[in-house]
Structure 1
Amino acid sequence: MSLSKSATILIILLNSLSIEATLPDINVVKSQLKQSGTCCSSLGYFLPGKVHYNLLTDLGYQNSLLSYWSQQEQSIHPACIVIPTSSNDVSLAVYVLNTAYSMSMRECQFAIRSAGHTPQAGAANIDGGITIDLQSLDEVTVSSDYGVASIGTGNRWGNIYPTLDALNLAMIGGRVSDVGVGGLMTGGGVSFFSGRYGFACDNVLNYEVVLASGAIVNANSTSNPSLYRALKGGSNNLGIITRFDVRLFSQGPFWGGTLTQPITNKDAVISFIANFTNSATYDPSAALITNFAWDNGIPLIIHDIEYTKPQPYPPIFSPLFALPQIDNTMRIAPLSSFTTEIAASSGPTTDGRSNLFATLTSTPSEAFMSAFYSLVDATVTSLSHVTDLLFTLTYQPLPYTLYSKSGATGGNVLGLDRFSADFVNALAVVSWALPSDDAVVYAAVQQLFEDGEALAKSMGVWNEFVYLNYAAQWQKPVSGYGETNRAFLEEVSMEVDPGGLFQTQVPGGFKLATG
């Protein structure tokens, strides 16, 4: 059930045509905006029943707000929430907002929201502005030859994988079932299958995207090729993606699960990660997420381990399983089983709480990983007064053999093609119960990562790449792409959005000039 070359070409040719958006005359829009005086009222006029205004009485508004992962995003109250059900709805909303922008109605700033899993306030929501909630764009359609899936940008992975599992198919996508498609795919996207196929963004054949003008276009290797490459890492800077057409491959159940170990294994585990990340011996079927987790100050080691073949206990993981264990859920199961397991291990304890990500990149140095662990442990101790603190330091391999696969599909803008070293991504996921502790936790974690970066530089292991999907609000992932890629993104932005709508009127996320 592999995708034939001719089928791929046919799909791209079909999708290379611009879709005719149904848009009103611009003078009608301007008249309505002047008459109503607000963008929300005008959006309600052009999109009846799809604009929600009131936190207290409107269930559409309430449900949208409560479906954000973090307390920080739930606490923000837009003037209205637009819930489109088609690409044409998105096109019309952007057309109205761009017209308002041309009329200097600056109060019409907006946010773009897929599933809303980025934790920081304002990433995918906006106080007093308009939030475009794409969650109803949840199409999952598999082509007749089983080679391509068309995925609506509002999907979560838990809605996609059961459909693919039933057909013994898979795609390069997220590893947690309640994470959204839109954010992950536009920021890179690491998968259990990335050792075989690279980043999720590099396995998109075609993007359907709404531009600032309201035009709906397709971007792929033959139509809008510059935009196509820019969207592979470009986040929310260039338009609103409404559909991803992605490459599928044959995949049945495979081996994986969660391995829990005592913290006394720490040094041996860090040594294992450093050796595992070596491209010369890397097993492309193996995937590893190692979590050093502190629950109210008590540390454990929790590994999410997958091997994308139905082979129990492959040799690559033998050193890890030789260490003392507390629990082990290893099994052969479909992809959705593992993504649901990871979501279940964290979701119920972090949903609706204050949450924070921060990240850095280094070469796989045992000395640095051990020293950074000590810095994290000290930070957790300093935050012992924070109510119900959950703190996780995650190490994830990013070997050259994984990220170098991007070149085979035309490249992306992440900037990793400048390098040939193996890397490890360090990620902090922090969760706590009370908003009153937000400031102290943010300050402590920011200081931790400033100290970690300084330490990595002093040890000669630091790398400037900052993975956008894990970045804290003070970090600058676009700068980490390198000046050549930033300049390329700015050039494409000027081509498709000459008025700068997505740079000035969408303040959330990491902007090209400042991110």
Structure 2
Amino acid sequence: MNSTFSDFCHNIGLSEASAVQIQKASRQRTVGDTDEGSRIHSFCIAAQLSLGSEKVDVPPSQTCIAEPGCIVLPHTSNDVSKIMKIINFFDVKFAIRSGGHSPNPGWSSIGSEGVLLDMQKMNHVSLSSDNLVATVGPGARWGEVIAAISPRRVAVVGGRIPIVGVAGLLLGGGYSYLTGEFGTAADSVKNYEVVLADGSIVHANGDENSDLFWALKGGGPNFGVITRFDLFTVSISDVWYEIMLYTPDQAFHVLDAFAQWQQDKDFDIKSSVTLSIGLDIITVALLYSTPTDPPSCFKPFYAVQPAQVAVPSTNGTSAQVYEMAYGVVSSEPMRHHVAANVADFGRSRGGNPMGIPQRAHQWWTTLADWREAKDDELVRSVTIETTQQWKKLGIQRGSYLPFTFMNDASRDQNPLASYGADNLSKLKVISRKYDPSQLLQRLQVGGFLLLRA
């Protein structure tokens, strides 16, 4: 038996008999198989033998539909470590899925040309005894996180929709109902447990691997596989909220109210507004991070008579906000206000690579739904043109800011480059330090990779 192969098998905990089984299975592939297909098959067999067959799903046929060579469901960081070592040895392409919420094709999936790491089994959520830190697995979803910790009257700065996965949002920066008060979700991370490209397990925080810690806060999937997030909690349990619906002919009045709210010289950082403008309805979701009567900061919205109050003025729990918002707030073009203190808060937590402008501004997201596949390219071209028009108007009026929020970016955009030349260069240096062979850039499918920035 080849000594290199024997050493590899020993490194992932396989017996000599298992090593022979991998070699035998590889030789039994059919004549028409490509070298890539043989390597993927060998990966899947090695993963089954190393992790256990219950953690690796190998489809019975790979010829009829585009599906991964196999789906690996790790339960622990040691599982992920073994997976990365097997990927290294067989040089196979792979994708990683946390919640799979991104609409970008291929961002959390892969066809028969590679394997899929599905993190759904690593969905643990726990709180420290003093309630100051929540430990969360990459496969958890934000609704699960809030439901688990809210009984102890704390919250975390996380996603606004319950089905969104934890890992993708945190690695892309993360906008929250609480961002105005506590910064981006990425800035709430105290510590990452990371499996690097070579399979080694490290921690990244303010004291240990601090450069990696900085890079992970908005740097995307470029540095390793996160197997644990330790998040600072905030002492918030009950909040105030209300949701109002307006008709499309009220759009300019609603937009004017939004402008008045965000331009208030005494802007209240406890306030949050989600503004969604659709073809049939305009949704305004108001939230205040402590129980109260309707806050005075929202007066501009009350000056516009709503067509309907979908959710009346309510003091409730943060968990109730998640349950309520998902059923009411639509997936239409949205505006997100970013207060001037968001960048400052990031710096106070050790900084991040995003280069968020140090002034009050807003992020615009264009989303579209359609029924027919034949309209794919038409709809896509319209959304791109709409985005370009907003950019053009911003430049003409001197208000354009060259920042692209990764979590909401389309595959044709380049959020990493928008972080600024210095930060992009630093990210690439850190990538080469922790992944010298650049495996994550060469073999990982999907995501905003530094290789393409």
**CA distance, structure 2, for counterparts of residue 253 and residue 346 of structure 1:** 20
Structure 2 stretches lacking a partner, 5+ long: 1-9, 27-37
Matched, 1:316 2:316: no
Matched, 1:241 2:246: no
**CA distance, structure 1, for counterparts of residue 61 and residue 240 of structure 2:** 47
Which is worse superposed, 182-191 or 260-269? 260-269
**CA distance, structure 1, for counterparts of residue 318 and residue 139 of structure 2:** 20
Aligned mate of 1:498, from 429, 436, 450? 436
Listed as ranges, the matches of 1:164-313 within 5 Å are 164-278=149-263, 280-294=265-279, 299-313=280-294
How many residues of Structure 1 are paired with residues of Structure 2 in the alignment? Answer: 422
TM-score, normalised relative to structure 2: 0.88
Aligned mate of 1:98, from 72, 84, 88? 88
**CA distance, structure 2, for counterparts of residue 412 and residue 395 of structure 1:** 23
Superposition deviation, residue 32 in structure 1:
7.0
**CA distance, structure 2, for counterparts of residue 507 and residue 122 of structure 1:** 7
Listed as ranges, the matches of 1:252-401 within 5 Å are 252-278=237-263, 280-294=265-279, 299-328=280-309, 329=311, 330-345=313-328, 392-401=332-341
| CA distances 1:209-241 after superposition (whole Å, capped 9, x unpaired) | 110111111100001100000000111111010
The answer on whether the counterparts of 1:291 and 1:392 sit within 8 Å (CA) in structure 2 is yes
**CA distance, structure 1, for counterparts of residue 284 and residue 61 of structure 2:** 42
Q: 1:307 to 1:226 in 2, by over 3 A?
A: same
RMSD: 2.2
Letter in 1 for 2:85: Y
Superposition deviation, residue 279 in structure 1:
7.1
The answer on whether the counterparts of 2:260 and 2:300 sit within 8 Å (CA) in structure 1 is no
Superposition deviation, residue 127 in structure 1:
1.4
Aligned mate of 1:487, from 417, 421, 425? 425
Structure 1 stretches lacking a partner, 5+ long: 1-21, 58-74, 102-107, 348-390
Aligned mate of 2:392, from 454, 464, 469? 454
Matched, 1:81 2:21: no
Tell me what 1:54 maps to.
59
**CA distance, structure 1, for counterparts of residue 117 and residue 341 of structure 2:** 38
Aligned mate of 2:97, from 74, 90, 113? 113
| CA distances 1:145-167 after superposition (whole Å, capped 9, x unpaired) | 11111000110011111122111
Letter in 2 for 1:124: S
Q: 1:276 to 1:88 in 2, by over 3 A?
A: same
The answer on whether the counterparts of 1:158 and 1:339 sit within 8 Å (CA) in structure 2 is yes
Q: 1:279 to 1:494 in 2, by over 3 A?
A: farther
The answer on whether the counterparts of 1:231 and 1:238 sit within 8 Å (CA) in structure 2 is yes
SS for the counterpart of 1:99 is: helix
Tell me what 2:411 maps to.
473
| CA distances 1:186-224 after superposition (whole Å, capped 9, x unpaired) | 111111111211011111100011101111111000011
- The percentage of counterpart residues that share the same residue type is 30
| CA distances 1:290-332 after superposition (whole Å, capped 9, x unpaired) | 01112xxxx3210121101101210000120221112221311
Tell me what 1:436 maps to.
374
Superposition deviation, residue 33 in structure 1:
6.2
Superposition deviation, residue 470 in structure 1:
0.2
SS for the counterpart of 1:169 is: coil
| CA distances 1:461-513 after superposition (whole Å, capped 9, x unpaired) | 21110000000110110011111111111111111100011111012011113
Tell me what 1:24 maps to.
12
